[in-house]
């Protein structure tokens, strides 16, 4: 029998919308010391998660269950002293597996548009580091539409 076989805890966290309502959960799938290299985020049918922007990390999403709409806002031109955000949408469906790469500095929202709980795997690059305190920036859709940059 090998001494290398072991179980490890996998941290599960309930997630909340900006309104404070529960919108799903996430679970750390793989950790390298304190850094999370892969996690699964789940959203109830009809739930929305976001918007948030990562200053350092890129995201790599794969939908494993359900159908998710990924809504992205990229910083565009400055017009009249105001930044414009360009909106785009991508559908990820577990029935048609695809990877979506999202670079850093892109505001991202996740919406479960299917009838069942949706699951997305993310392999962030670099790995999530809890010591980077100001790396994630939260936005509302109204802030993005108004051209606010934080």
Q: Mapped to the 3 state alphabet, what secondary structure does the chain carry?
A: CCCCCCCCCCCEEEEECCCCCEEEEEEEEEEECCEEEEEEEEECCCCEEEEEEECCCEEEEEEEECEEEEEEEEEEEEECCEEEEEEEEEEEECCECCEEEECCCEEEEEEECCCCCEEEEECCECCECCCCCCCEEECCHHHHHCCCCC
Q: Which CATH class is domain 12-145?
A: mainly beta
Q: Where are the domains of the chain?
A: 12-145
Model pTM? Answer: 0.90
Mean pLDDT of the chain: 92
* 81 pLDDT higher than 90: no
């Amino acid at each position: 029998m090998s001494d290398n076989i072991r179980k490890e805890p996998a941290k599960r966290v309930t997630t909340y919308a900006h309104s404070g309502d529960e919108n799903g959960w996430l679970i750390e799938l793989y950790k390298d010391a304190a850094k999370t290299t892969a996690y699964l985020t789940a959203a109830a049918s009809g739930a929305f998660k976001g918007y948030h922007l990562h200053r350092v990390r890129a995201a790599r999403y794969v939908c494993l269950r359900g159908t998710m709409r990924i809504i992205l806002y990229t910083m565009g031109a400055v017009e009249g002293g105001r930044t414009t955000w360009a909106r785009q949408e991508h559908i990820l469906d577990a029935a048609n597996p695809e990877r979506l790469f999202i670079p850093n500095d892109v505001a991202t929202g996740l919406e479960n548009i299917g009838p069942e709980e949706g699951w997305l795997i993310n392999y962030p690059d670099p790995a999530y580091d809890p010591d980077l305190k100001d790396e994630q920036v939260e936005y509302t859709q109204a802030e993005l539409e108004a051209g606010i940059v934080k």
